[in-house]
Chain A
């Protein structure tokens, strides 16, 4: 079949089973947009900013497990996409992002809207390509999807010059692909797995420490099974929230800076830590030299660079968790006696009873944590929850009763404000039968507010719940704790009328001061089935607690703050 490079892009996306792409047109990508106009294989959703295109594709990928796809133009179109790529890269999200480039004969001449796109995307993608000839285009498209979705997933960027999208060439799309320099390890070393299970069976205080890898490997059910058989307590990272159902008695909650007391004490006192798809991030470990001092470490990860990067590992196991966990289950059935850990479970239960996750509710003002809990009570497993970044993100991670993997969509590694709303649009597009909630703050929501237009136009009824405290809350909290209350540029009391703002785009808005008003607003927003902002006026000075101050130790948490 002889077709244009632009048509090849469309045909390849179709062959990859793509249902939706998010994007924004411009000069250098117009040939592709012309072919998008002529096809009816899949939907294109026009965002109102390229950053939002990428976040939306990212949210779609996180909610469905499929590769997210976005298309942008050259120059500023592409530089706007970078924050989205970096966000997806840090959280290992499979995506393919296609950008237009100036024609090959103009590359290097500082042409209009020219930028060295692959030069910029290199450190924030798993891999990238500048297409040099029409002949290599089909192969690159195939390889991009393969690389994005295999091994440790990640975003892949393809930069296509405009003359190549115009050129006619022979289109033969490869059915399968072998990249001889890229062979992710799939099966774990079975001897190492046996040794690891032996070590667990001899331990007294084992702990499962699970991360986002459990979700990307679709291994949640099997990890739950492993925990059930062995009765080993579990802590989750931010990225793993949802992989274990919240009412599982073995789950101690989130670990790390704003983790639960029980989870952090478990890390500190465990004698063996079984890390599954987690990467010992600084927000998890606190001060490294004091981290898990009494524990041997089993580290299962698909990416060898994650192993031994920050902590010494006694049992490294490289491979795909969804295969390794099955072997672990088989061996554990024979070797592990769950009653051995009974006293350990009792100790941890005690910790949970002494210092459970809590907040002081009030009748005078809405507490932000109450809002999260309330949405959990009302919607529970009927919603997918996205967040922006800051205090509201941590409260969501702490207080929402997650019950299934991919229910929680948040920018964990990069911490991108402005991520939540466009990501929640992608979630809605991927999971249309569930309610798509975005918890945001009065800071974050303004960082991609133009997406109200996309949500209205493309009928993506995201419900944005803004926990409005008139502050850039998390930074304000650090200023309170560590900067002697010098509130440098964190007071956000100057803000728009969110109700009118939502309405002006054709959405619905609510301003909420009481619990009753909140319940009514949420119910109304769901019934209206259109994009909404629920602007909840919350306690201005509420802090996220408990907290391990930056550089502090997990066993020495700040449990309360007294002025």
Chain B
């Protein structure tokens, strides 16, 4: 038995119907699987939705997750290729007192930008690979962020 924990991003294409979200989240909760992040959105011009689920577990667990997802009636397809392009997004609110120019430079370094500046705060965003977003969030700490909002992963096959 392989006990080594692996992280996995799984895309699930489902029929966009009543309670499909709870079928999937209920499967994870009921069988004790871990969800690190979950992103759901309809696929344009279809009656389908795409779930992007970031999960972890040993090899047997990951295999079970994929099989159990496939077993759900409204699930059309489960994709778990390793050659996957994965992006995450974060929005950060920073006090206006911090240096706008420094923050702008930092954002640019991470494919991000300043999206709004108001009387009392600066709002920035980045969208990049999860590790890079993580690094950005470490770097931005220097500017005393008031609020950080992170989205879940979205992924697509190469």
A interface residues (Cβ-Cβ under 8 A, vs B): 118-119, 122-123, 126-127, 129-130, 132, 147, 179-182, 303-305, 308-309, 312
Residues of B near any A CB (own CB < 8 A): 1, 14-15, 18-19, 22-23, 26, 30, 60, 63-64, 67-68, 70-71, 73-76
Q: A122-B19, A122-B22, A122-B26 are in contact. Are A304 and B71 (CB under 8 A)?
A: yes
A9 to B71, CA, bound (A): 27
What residue in chain B is nearest A129 (Cβ atoms)? B18
Contact A180 B68 (CB under 8 A): no
Contact (A305, B73) CB under 8 Å given A130-B18, A130-B19, A181-B15: no
Q: Which residue of A lies closest to B29 (CB)?
A: A123
- CB pair A127–B71 under 8 Å, yes or no, is no
Number of A-B contacts (CB under 8 A): 39
**Nearest-CB residue, chain A, relative to B2:** A312
Name the A residues within 8 Å of B22 (CB-CB): 119, 122
Instruction: From the candidates B23, B70, B76, name the one contacting A304 in the complex (CB within 8 A).
Output: B70
Interface of B: prevailing SS:
helix
Cβ contacts A to B, 10 pairs, < 8 Å: A122-B19, A147-B73, A180-B76, A181-B14, A181-B73, A303-B71, A305-B71, A308-B60, A309-B60, A312-B1
Closest 4 CB pairs of A and B: A305-B67, A127-B73, A181-B76, A304-B67
Complex: A205 Cα to B73 Cα, angstroms: 40
CA of A122 to CA of B18, assembled, Å: 12
Contact, CB under 8 Å: B19 / A179: no
Contact A179:B73 (CB < 8 A) given known A122-B23, A305-B67: yes
Chain A, residue nearest B15 (CB): A181
Residues of B within 8 A of A312 (CB): 1
A132 / chain B contacts, CB cutoff of 8 Å: 18
Nearest residue, chain A, Cβ from B14:
A181
For A308, the chain B residues whose CB sits under 8 A away are 60, 63-64
Instruction: Look across to chain B and name the residue whose beta carbon is closest to the beta carbon of A182.
Output: B73
Q: Give the docked Cα–Cα distance between A514 and B89 (Å).
A: 78
How far does the alpha carbon of A113 sit from the alpha carbon of B76 in the complex, in Å?
A: 35
B74's partner among A118, A119, A181 (CB-CB below 8 A) is A181
B64 A309 Cβ-Cβ under 8 A = yes
Nearest CB in chain B: distance from A58 CB, A = 21
Closest chain B CB from A326 CB (angstroms): 26
Complex Cα gap A471–B26 (Å): 38
Bound together, the chains give a CA A123 to CA B24 distance in angstroms of 11
Complex: A43 Cα to B112 Cα, angstroms: 69
Complex Cα distance, B125 from A241, in Å, reads: 63
Q: How far is the CB of B26 from chain A (nearest CB, A)?
A: 5
Chain B hits for A182, CB < 8 A: 73
Within the complex, the shortest CB–CB distance from A319 to chain B, in Å, comes to 15
Residue of A nearest to B77 (CB): A181
Give the CA-CA distance A179 to B71 in the complex, in Å.
Answer: 13
Residues in A with CB closer than 8 Å to B75 are 181
Assess A123 versus B73: contact at CB under 8 Å? Given A130-B19, A304-B67: no
Question: Which residues of the other chain, B, contact A118 by a CB distance below 8 angstroms?
Answer: 19
